[in-house]
Amino acid sequence: MSKGLHKVAGVVGVGDTDWRADYAAQRKGEPARFDGIGLASLAFKRALADSGLKRDDIDGLIVGPTTPYERMGEVLGLDTRWGGQADAMLGVIQACMAIKSGLAEVVALVYGNNQRSGKVNYGGSNAAGGQSFLSYVYHAPWGFTSQGALYAMMFQRYMEETGLTSAQLGQVAVAQREAASLNPGAVMQERITTQDYLDSRFVCEPLHLFDYCLINDGGVALIIAEAERAKSIRPDPVMIHGVGRYDLNSGATSLEPRLTDYYLPAQQKVAEQVFNMAGVGPEDMSSAQVYDSFSCHIPLALEGYGYCPPGGAGQFLEEGHHRLGGRLPVNTSGGHLSESYMQGWAHQVEAVRQLRGQCGARQVPGCNYVHYSSDVAGKAVSIIYGR
């Protein structure tokens, strides 16, 4: 086993904002209460209270890509010695690396996004990200300017190759809405049936409306501390048992790795890294939290990380192993499809709360390990959280 970053740090505080209430208010035409920095600040305040720490205890800061690092530090009143900007999954890994190397001891990870009230576009000629999403730029002359179009084309090929049906894919949305119905903070709580899913309109065939993530305002924060410090801060820190990352860069700007291999080679490499570092295997996982900007991320991750054989995700979903009470409950908060679209950040909070046993009616019994998986933009990333 490669120890690497095994249990060098633990999560001691988590916080999030009132995305259900904010979403409902905006639907009524009320103005947004906060911008992205304000949302991030509220989440940080709640994470700090959850940890029991003081602001001066924080000596590292990582902010999400939607907020400026320097300004965020000023607003939060943090004078940290180390920090930067990263997405949720790489932020957790960078925090562990900084702690391992002695650059920081207690790191706050903070994210805020007013994407709904700010009318952010994730597709079209002015898609968010601009030049940073090279695939958008290269394919714009042909009108191929959205992630939805990309995943629709990719998954159409996958379905034809494996025989996975629309009804089987629909089990992802059905299960996550069921979980969200048990989550008081989830934006979408009304349960749906497989027939509801099949009757819903296509946005980009074969993906239906319920295959797409939400767009809502919100903020998330985590506080990660060096392992021994974490144990002194609270009796139940959630330890980071393993991390992994593998990129598919060859042909990435032509979209080739995603369209032909479905991330499978990258996920298999990451599986080897993360499970070896954690000293556990897929059979030991109590739950999985999977980045789900689209529902099709879930079957791909189930296969890539060895929860079922390649081509076997359709049967896995049809048999309900991914549902609450199943062999591997997936996205137990409702995920991006039904709880909140926080670009992977809220999944980390759900993992922590499941391991603390704080999830009420959606709690996974005897939750010991939670596997987080992300596969976006040609890179696969994993984190294993545990008690």
- CATH pick for 9-119+214-386 out of 3.40.47.10, 3.40.50.11900, 3.40.50.300, 3.40.50.720: 3.40.47.10
DSSP strands (E only) in the chain: 9-16, 60-63, 82-85, 106-113, 202-204, 207-208, 218-226, 238-247, 287-290, 369-376, 379-386
Amino acid sitting at position 239: M
- Residue 74, strand partner residues: none
For 295, phi and psi rounded to 5 degrees? -60, -30
Rounded Cα–Cα distance for residues 121 and 150 (Å): 16
Rounded Cα–Cα distance for residues 56 and 51 (Å): 13
Rounded Cα–Cα distance for residues 22 and 97 (Å): 35
Q: Is the pTM of this model over 0.75?
A: yes
Q: What is the DSSP letter of 212?
A: B
Q: What is the pLDDT along the chain (387 residues), one digit of tens a residue?
A: 458 999 999 999 999 999 999 999 999 999 999 999 999 999 999 999 999 999 999 999 999 999 999 999 999 999 999 999 999 999 999 999 999 999 999 999 999 999 999 998 887 766 665 555 555 556 667 777 788 888 999 999 999 999 999 999 999 999 999 999 999 999 999 999 999 999 999 999 999 999 999 999 999 999 999 999 999 999 999 999 999 999 988 877 667 777 888 889 999 999 999 999 999 999 999 999 999 999 999 999 999 999 999 999 999 999 999 999 999 999 999 999 999 999 999 999 999 999 999 999 999 999 999 999 998 777 899 999 999
